[in-house]
Amino acid sequence: MADDGGDDSLYPIAVLIDELKNEDVALRLNSVRRLSTIALALGEERTRRELIPFLTDSNDDEDEVLLAMAEELGNFVPYVGGPAFADVLLGPLETLSTVEETVVREKAAESLAKVGTQLPEPSVIEHFIPLVRRLATGEWFTSRVSSCGLFGTAYHRCPGQMRSELRSLYGQLCRDDTPMVRRAAAHNLGRFAERVEPQCISRELIPLFQDLTVDDQDSVRLLAVDSCGPLARLLTRDESAAHVLPVVQKFAADKSWRVRYNVAQQLCQLCEALGPDLARSELVPAFVRLLRDSEAEDDFPEVRLNIISKLDQVNKVIGIELLAQSLLPAIEELAEDKHWRVRLAIIDYIPLLAGQLGSNFFQEKLGPQCLKWLSDQVYSIREAATSNLAKLAREFGPEWARDHLVPQVLGMVNNPHYLYRMTILVAIASLAPVVSNDVLCHNMLPVVVNCSKDKVPNIKFNVAKMLERLAPLVEPVVVERTIRPCLLELNSDGDSDVRFFASQALAHTTPMVAA
């Protein structure tokens, strides 16, 4: 194939083609990644007649090369003459979809689906569906695994008599003896269902789904969960309540934390499919259970973290009243969870919750906890807590902040541990742009100035940094009479870091006084 017929302009292409057979993996990989260049130079007919058969017969066993080839061929339809000739790509991709390496198979199956969507209907019937059939009934599990992702592409483009066969084949894959095949079937069931007629979903696919949800392999049940949301959307509300809801309720208490994690992913779709009434009465208990989830096998609270990330979406369906009644007690528990990542996730959710609960109810239920986080042992929690206070102040307004945040924050400034005192300084700086000027000048600024007399240099140079941040928020007279005298005193401190930051702050505040 490398013979260029004496045309010197094709010499570089001949080199690339030769590199496809080179022993050096890097050279083969480079050539595969430039297959489109080779194809353009050869033209559509020679690409179909010479290049594609060469790739089909290639015995390359390097996974990186095979992966690149699988990816390139998925975009190769224009280079072989368009959809009318795209079936020539199915051969090499079918071979790649049966190899042992998972990432190569997955990419090959993805490219097969991409090519399959572009085939004209006669080619689908003549070439694509037989390919799916061969893979689905292949002796090696690798081909059966790859077939599972192709049924959706084939199904909606084939005549009625073939559809029954495809549904039957998919049923065989769902009951395959090899767990990896059942996993692939479970993973793709929702996508396949989107192509199947509604009456066939409830009659044929739901029994398959129910079998997969009781599989003895955790990994199969885990992937069966992914079909809950898509199936619920495709079924009627009554059918969803009868067939999908019981499965979700059971999955929420599954022995595997990974299964419960995937349930959390599906709850929002299920709430929408079932409607607010059923969601409130039937799904909220499962939601609360997942919020309080604990799993001995897992040192990281992934289930709780995942469910927290869905709170705002679920709230839109179940409403604030039910949130207050059912979820809030669980949220209060999570606020003091032993895992700092859970506490951090709850802090991130607090501003949204605040807007839904209203100032009075929020202050009663969660206000004290928001202040308690300022003294958390984990720095990331303390840092997030300071930002959270500013968001709450913006949500509820400066008067609420004056009454419910400022006094409590200022009262914590004498904490025996300097790291916590530093957190309070940061909290003051975060609240400063949100509160009224009167509160800033008469309540908060004196506390910051007083901290300049702290014995710990880290506190003092942070005071200098905070005063620099506060200066633009107050009148020039306050800068001149309060902020700069404090900075001048810090500028003569015995610690070099304190003097550095004080000097820097003085330089930035000088123009304010001059103005």
Question: Do the Cβ atoms of 47 and 79 come closer than 8 Å?
Answer: yes
Strand (E) positions, 214-255? none
pLDDT of amino acid 30 = 84
Six token digits for residue 418: 């300097």
Summarize the confidence of residues 135-153 as an average pLDDT: 94
Band of the pLDDT at 149, cuts 50, 70, 90?
Answer: very high
Span 238-261, mean pLDDT? Answer: 83
End-to-end CA gap in the chain? 80
pLDDT at 160 over 70: yes
Q: Which two tokens stand for residue 410?
A: 């200022």
Residues 6+ apart with CB under 8 A from 307: 264, 267, 287, 290, 291, 293
Tokens of 210: 């129910």
Query: Are 399 and 356 in contact, with CB atoms under 8 Å apart?
Result: no
- Asked if 179 and 217 touch (Cβ cutoff 8 Å), the reply is yes
Confidence of residue 373 (pLDDT cuts 50, 70, 90): very high
Comparing C-alpha atoms, which of 76, 82, 83 is closest to residue 56? Answer: 76
Amino acid in the structure at residue 186: A
Mean pLDDT for all residues in the chain: 86
> What average pLDDT score do residues 458-468 get?
92
Q: Which value, in Å, is the radius of gyration of the alpha carbons in the chain?
A: 32
Express as a percent the part of the chain with pLDDT over 70.
Answer: 91
Using 50, 70 and 90 to split pLDDT, how confident is the model at 4?
very low
Q: What is the pLDDT of residue 294?
A: 61
If we measure between CA atoms, which residue out of 158, 160, 156, 89 comes closest to residue 126? Answer: 158
* Per-residue pLDDT at 247 exceeds 80: yes
In eight-state DSSP terms, residue 442 is I
- Per DSSP, 125 falls in state I
- DSSP state at residue 72: H
Per the model's pLDDT, the better-predicted residue between 319 and 64 turns out to be: 64
pLDDT tens-digit series, residues 34-55: 888 888 888 899 889 888 988 8
460 has a pLDDT exceeding 60:
yes
Report the pLDDT value the prediction gives residue 450, as an integer from 0 to 100.
Answer: 93
Determine the average pLDDT of the residues in 216-245: 88
Residue 455 Cα distances to 179, 427, 458, 466, angstroms: 65, 20, 9, 17
- pLDDT value for 438: 93
User: At 290, is the pLDDT very low, low, confident or very high (cuts 50, 70, 90)?
Assistant: confident
Confidence of residue 283 (pLDDT cuts 50, 70, 90): confident
The pLDDT-based confidence of 12 (bands split at 50, 70, 90) is low
CB 257 within 8 A of CB 293: yes
Tell me which H or E stretch contains 498.
helix 496-514
Residue with tokens 């689906």: 113
- Nearest alpha carbon to residue 72 among 43, 111, 38: 111
Contact 290, 253 (CB under 8 A): no
* Percent helix, percent strand, percent coil in the chain, to nearest 5: 80, 0, 20
Q: How confident is the model at residue 6 (pLDDT cuts 50, 70, 90)?
A: very low
Q: Residues 355-380: what's their mean pLDDT? A: 87
Q: In the block, which residue shows the tokens 């300097």?
A: 418
Residue 147 in tokens? 């077939």
The pLDDT value given to residue 300: 53
Q: Using alpha carbons only, what angle is made at residue 290 by residues 287 and 295, rounded to the nearest 5 degrees?
A: 170
Q: Which of 441, 428, 508 is nearest to 475 (CA)?
A: 441
Q: For residue 184, what pLDDT band results from cuts at 50, 70 and 90?
A: very high
Q: Which residue has the tokens 């004498």?
A: 414
User: In whole angstroms, what is the distance from residue 282 CA to residue 274 CA?
Assistant: 9
Task: Please give the Cα distance from 113 to 149 (Å, whole number).
Answer: 8
Confidence category of residue 151, pLDDT binned at 50, 70, 90:
very high
Does the pLDDT at position 7 exceed 60? no
DSSP 387-416: HHHHHHHHHH-HHHHHHHTHHHHHTTTT-S
Tokens of 314: 């679920």
188 versus 156: the higher-pLDDT residue is: 188
pLDDT of 186: 95
| Residue 289 CB coordination number (10 Å) | 17
Q: What's the rounded Cα separation, in Å, for the pair 340 and 17? A: 56
> pLDDT digits over 292-339, tens only?
766 544 555 777 777 777 776 666 666 666 666 666 777 778 788 888
Q: Is the dihedral of CA 326, 327, 331, 337 positive or negative?
A: positive
User: What pLDDT is recorded for position 318?
Assistant: 64
Least confident of 233-247, 350-364, 435-449: 350-364
Percent of the chain with pLDDT strictly greater than 90: 53
Higher pLDDT, 6 or 253: 253
Which pLDDT value is given to residue 16? 65
Spatial CA neighbour of 451 closest among 431, 467, 432: 467
